[in-house]
Amino acid sequence: MDGLILVDKPQNFTSHDIVLRIRNILNIKKVGHYGTLDPLATGLMLLALGKATRFFPFFSTTDKVYEGLIRLGFSTDTYDSAGKPTSSEEKNYPQKDSLLKAMKKFEGEIQQLPPPYSAKKYKGKPLYALVREKKEFELRPSKVFIHFFQLIKYNPPLLEFKAKCSSGTYIRSLAHDLGEGLGCRAHLSELTRTDVGNFNIKESRSIEEIKGLADAGKIDEFLIPFESLLPEFPKIILKERGSVLVKNGNLVSPENIQKVILDESSSADISPEGEEVFRMFSLEGKFLALAKKVPEKNCFHPFLVIDSKEAEQ
């Protein structure tokens, strides 16, 4: 079984819990997720099955959109409501104008420190493990990009927000740092991930729904087929000889290509110039590889061969 499943993760489940549940429901071993959600958080998770796990570099680095609540007044050791308070409560909440200005400062490229309780690693060990072992370590900032950090509703001490950010952004840190900037402390109270790249939570299914459909033999109602993944990349249809070349990771020249399809309604001349990444398919419709253009040699290089056995068919 190969493809992608969009899961609506409930609260108090780890991302690994969700992977285990899907493995058990579908009775398959090769399952992975494209982006961790904290136990406190709910929302969209992308789970890859079988050969789709090979696409981790593409799905895991896409932008995410979150909606949630930030509680002003005090900070916690985990930067969210699951942690212990680390400051006395401040009730001098900012005016809406001051809050909007403070939130605006986080938009764009910023340097962000991860929460002490996080899976971020320091010398090969996750930070949360070092905290529990009471070992000293140095938090190192990472460069992230916040496309927008919007105020939806403000009813002190709670503020409802929506944020779009790059992969690797910690919304817990965003909440904590906002409180520090305002001088009133803050922590993340609730969080839902609504979007991962072009996928939206409205397209997702709960674990219970997935189990019910799987038991009824209706897997096609929640599984996004492997052959339809990464539609943003142009599609190369290979001739039989081209499929054999791809199997061994060899360069593919235009004479071994049947056609190039830029989208569902048009095709292009056979040329390695233009798009950076291409999907390579056999004449039978099998997704064989991802390739990059090599303009100086007038050919394509398959840099990620999905399944060499299929290239022989």
Q: Please provide the DSSP assignment of 53-88 as one string.
A: GGGHHHHTTS-EEEEEEEEES--BTTSBTTS-B-SP
pLDDT per residue over 218-258, tens digit each?
Answer: 999 999 999 999 988 899 999 999 999 998 889 999 999 99
Check which CATH number belongs to the domain holding 213 and give it.
3.30.2350.10
Give yes or no: residues 11 and 34 share one domain.
yes
Residue ranges making up the domain that contains 98: 64-196
| Residue given tokens 């400051």 in the structure block | 87
Which residues are the active-site residues?
38
Q: What is the pLDDT of residue 124?
A: 67
Query: How much of the chain exceeds pLDDT 70, in percent?
Result: 88
Give yes or no: residues 129 and 158 share one domain.
yes
Q: What is the pLDDT of residue 270?
A: 45
Structure tokens that stand for 19 in this block: 């992977």
Structure tokens that stand for 34 in this block: 């494209």
Higher-confidence position of 66 and 270: 66
Give yes or no: residues 76 and 163 share one domain.
yes
Higher-confidence position of 153 and 313: 153
Structure tokens that stand for 287 in this block: 């997704």
Give yes or no: residues 168 and 214 share one domain.
no
Three-state SS for 132?
Answer: helix
Give yes or no: residues 31 and 70 share one domain.
no
Give yes or no: residues 267 and 155 share one domain.
no
pLDDT per residue over 161-202, tens digit each?
Answer: 999 999 999 999 999 999 999 999 999 999 999 999 999 999
At 127, the pLDDT band (50, 70, 90 cuts) reads: low
Q: What is the pLDDT of residue 271?
A: 44
Give yes or no: residues 36 and 122 share one domain.
no
pLDDT per residue over 136-154, tens digit each?
Answer: 767 788 899 999 999 999 9
The 10 Å CB-count burial string (b at 16+, else e) for 284-310 is eebbbbbbebeeeeebbbbebbbbeeb
Tell me the pTM: 0.87
Asked if omega into 295 is within 30° of 0 (cis), the reply is no
| Residue given tokens 């459909």 in the structure block | 213
pLDDT per residue over 67-123, tens digit each?
Answer: 999 999 999 999 999 889 998 888 889 999 999 999 999 999 999 998 887 666 666
Which residue, 227, 245, 276, sits at the end of a domain? 227
8 Å CB contact between 287 and 274: no
Q: Count structural domains, the chain.
A: 3
Alpha helices in the chain (DSSP H): 15-26, 56-59, 96-104, 127-132, 171-182, 207-215, 240-247, 308-311
Give yes or no: residues 134 and 256 share one domain.
no
Packing angle, helices 207-215 and 15-26, rounded to 10: 10
The burial of 7, by beta-carbon neighbours within 10 Å (0-12 exposed, 13-18 middle, 19 or more buried), is given as buried
The length of the chain in residues reads 313
Q: How far apart are CA 4 and CA 262, in angstroms?
A: 22
Q: How far apart are CA 163 and CA 104, in angstroms?
A: 11
Average pLDDT for 279-293: 93
Which residue, 154, 173, 196, sits at the end of a domain? 196
What type of residue sits at position 17? Answer: D
Say whether pLDDT at 268 is over 50. no
At 51, the pLDDT band (50, 70, 90 cuts) reads: very high
Structure tokens that stand for 150 in this block: 């919007």
Contacts with 221 (C-beta within 8 Å, 6 or more apart), sequence order: 213
Cα separations in angstroms, 305 against 39, 107, 279, 296, 311: 35, 38, 10, 22, 9
Q: How far apart are CA 200 and CA 299, in angstroms?
A: 36
Give yes or no: residues 76 and 55 share one domain.
no
